[in-house]
Structure 1
Amino acid sequence: MTTAVTRPHTVTARITTPDTPPAMFTATVFMNTARRHSFDDYQPGHPLAEATRPDGSPLRLVFHTSDRITDHEAAAAADAAFAVGNRQRPDDNGQTWPTDIRFVSVGDVIKVTGPDHWIVYLSVDHLSFSAVPEPTNLTGLAGTRATNRR
């Protein structure tokens, strides 16, 4: 003979409290410095220079997950970094794009690190972003001490 056993329902929810920091994306922009690139799409092997702050330290843009950027949406984080890189807004920590670096444009590469530490590299295209392999030709830093020519 069997008897029915009633089990309580289990509900799992993610609750963000003031003590729980929101999940975030970080974005690092690599400026394409190829002499003949002329705002064409990024090609593996193009030389890239990492964007830096005026003091020469690496520039890491931070975006918290929200209605606009949710988990696993690297393109949304890249789009937010593109907006910062074109001086349209600051990142979620109030950081703005340095004035000694040109605007982010077609052919540049944005490295997006997600909340679970996954990484994707996205090339800035004419209308969107395309996943590319990790760049291997990093030539230095883009800032006051670097050449930012196109």
Structure 2
Amino acid sequence: MTTAATRPYTVTARINEADTAPTTGPDTGPDTYTATVYLNTHPDNFHGYQPHHPLAAATHPDGTPLRLVFHASTRIHNHEAAASATFTVGNRVQADDHGQTWPDDIRSVSVGDVIKITTPDHWIIHLQLDPVGFTPVPEPTDLTALTGTRNTSRR
């Protein structure tokens, strides 16, 4: 006896490197992790992030989001490694893989802040900075402007 079974349609395609390059944009490539830092602006931010805490995205002075870029490598091989590299850049130790450094007029990345990581396969994860390591958290909903987190004394 035979039974009919449906099979999903399968498509095979050859993708050339030249075909994929224009769709990745000027800042990223197919094998990059991007990071956006959300600074915890709550007065009790150093005790960790809570979903009701307001967050402000780190931005350039013109208001555009500050996105750090890291190429997938043996050093940056998962979202936690990308978050760790973001923490290092956010504490002015080094630059990202495109030479971008952390602005002097924004406070350093610290415990209670949230890092949004977009992986090469387009998964997005939000990680809270803990005293040691990171904890996944839901996507923040209480976003505010960056006022108050810029260091005006360094200008």
TM-score range, shorter chain: 0.7 to 0.9
1:54-112 Cα deviation digits (max 9, x unpaired): 22211000000011012xx1110000000000000000000000111000000000000
Identity of counterpart residues, as a percentage? Answer: 59
The amino acid across from 1:32 in the alignment is N
The reply to whether residue 148 of structure 1 matches residue 153 of structure 2 is no
The reply to whether residue 103 of structure 1 matches residue 108 of structure 2 is yes
Match of 2:36 in 1: 28
The amino acid across from 1:25 in the alignment is Y
Unaligned ranges ≥5, structure 2: 1-16, 22-28, 151-155
- Size of the aligned set, in residue pairs, is 126
Q: Which has the higher contact order (CA 8 A, sep 6+)?
A: 1
Could you tell me how far apart the structure 2 residues matched to 1:76 and 1:134 are? 19
Match of 1:66 in 2: 73
Match of 2:54 in 1: 47
Any conservation in 2 of the 1:22–1:65 contact (CA below 8 Å)? Answer: no
Q: What's the secondary structure of 1:79's corresponding residue?
A: helix
State the superposition RMSD in angstroms. 1.9
Any conservation in 1 of the 2:30–2:120 contact (CA below 8 Å)? Answer: no
Match of 1:115 in 2: 120
Q: What's the secondary structure of 2:53's corresponding residue?
A: coil
The reply to whether residue 84 of structure 1 matches residue 99 of structure 2 is no
The reply to whether residue 126 of structure 1 matches residue 131 of structure 2 is yes
Q: Hey, which bits of structure 1, 4+ residues long, moved more than 4 A?
A: 19-22
The amino acid across from 1:46 in the alignment is H
Residue 22 of structure 1 and its aligned partner are, at CA, apart by 5.4
